[in-house]
Amino acid sequence: MVRKQESLLSADRYSLSWWLGGARNFFWVAVITLLIWVYADLEMSEPREFTATVRLTMSKAQQTVIVGQTDTAVTFSTKGSRRALAQFKRWLTDNDEVIEIDVSNYEPGTYSLPVVQILNQTPEIANSGLEAHAAAPSTLKFLVDRLETLELPVELDYVGATLAEGVEIDPQTVSVTAPENDWQRIRQQQEELVVHTVREELSFVRPGQTETRRVALVASIGGVPVQLNPKAVTIAFTVAQRTETLTISVTVQIVSPVDWGTDGTWRDYVLQKKDGNIPWRPEITVTGGKQDLEQLRPEDVQAFVTLTDGDKEPVESWLQRPVEIRFPAGLSLQLVGERPTVQFKLVRRTE
């Protein structure tokens, strides 16, 4: 090695050995300089904008749930080295542009959290040396509610026949889970809390014939989604006679406390109907014997909602109420399925 260096030093200027040695030294200097530039470029801090879906989860919570929207499209700016930005971009692509935020430790309540703060606490950003510094929307709003579970009876929903007494349902009750706020809505709409089966068509079952079926349950009560356990029941029934169905349109009337006509309530308030009069002329399906259906006239059906003093309290949205349906006396008729609902609110007059 020493001899080689000596030979280079002793090489004649502008000789082939002199040129080769100089080129070799220049090559290594250029390689080292290039590596320094590349490394410096990778570590240079710069801003970059990303778009992702921020998904709120409660993977560790058992008795609470997020109510409403859990996915929000967010555009945010981050600052960091090009290397870290490239790694974060690859991670986003591999995870379908979704950033999950676990809020299992949040107690029931309403929250509004800065998006930048949330993002900077995620391991994918915090552990990579990046920093989020701007986001749109700037805050995430969500509601955490406590779950409540009730044991409710199951009711068979069917058309096309009347059944003999002794319909067997196994199990007779099921566990129904929903957020506490949803239970409040359900109790306001439903006088009796029951779980209905999916509607069964029995018009093709021979009278006197006993059948056993596995029937799915409807995972909602009064239009409010619920969780069921189990999700199906076994029914055993005997058809007494076949029936027919008739669909008619009825007019929903208002029943208010008697003293509203004298205490100034109708002078001070006006009833506003959501979506106009269309929901107040609902179609209902009625089942019963052929002779009873032939006697039924739409104007003989009493369809109404009952107002209370509590309805005069200001509300941000709309009050929802199921319609009471009463058929003429002497006719053996039944409503098919759940009662229709209407939405309204009482608004104080400004004039």
Least confident of 148-162, 181-195, 208-222, 254-268: 181-195
How large is the average pLDDT for residues 210-239? 93
Q: Is the pLDDT of residue 5 over 60?
A: no
What are residue 172's DSSP bridge partners?
none
- Give first-to-last CA distance, the chain, whole Å: 106
Residue 301 vs residues 161, 255, 278, 306, 330: alpha-carbon distances, Å: 21, 15, 18, 16, 13
Band (2; pLDDT cuts 50, 70, 90): very low
Give the model's pLDDT for residue 19: 59
Q: Decide: 162 and 145 in contact? Cβ < 8 Å.
A: no
Tracing tokens 């309530």 back to the chain, one arrives at 265
Cα 18 from Cα 267, distance rounded (Å): 110
Give the model's pLDDT for residue 336: 85
Cα 348 from Cα 142, distance rounded (Å): 31
Give the model's pLDDT for residue 10: 52
How large is the average pLDDT for residues 281-292? 88
Long-range contacts of range 84-93, CB-CB < 8 Å, 24 or more positions apart? Answer: 84/128, 84/129, 84/130, 85/46, 85/48, 85/130, 87/128, 88/50, 88/124, 88/125, 88/128, 88/130, 89/50, 91/124, 92/50, 92/52
Buried b (16+ CB within 10 A) or exposed e, 21-39: beeeeeeeeeeeeeeeeee
Number of Cβ within a 10 Å radius of residue 226: 23
Give the model's pLDDT for residue 8: 45
How large is the average pLDDT for residues 312-340? 88
Cα 128 from Cα 122, distance rounded (Å): 10
Residue among 123, 197, 127, 125 at smallest CA distance from 163: 197
* Segments in the chain forming alpha helices (H): 2-9, 16-43, 82-94, 115-120, 123-126, 180-189, 265-268, 290-295
Band (42; pLDDT cuts 50, 70, 90): very low
**pTM for the whole thing?**
0.59
* Token code pair at residue 24: 């070799």
Give the model's pLDDT for residue 238: 93
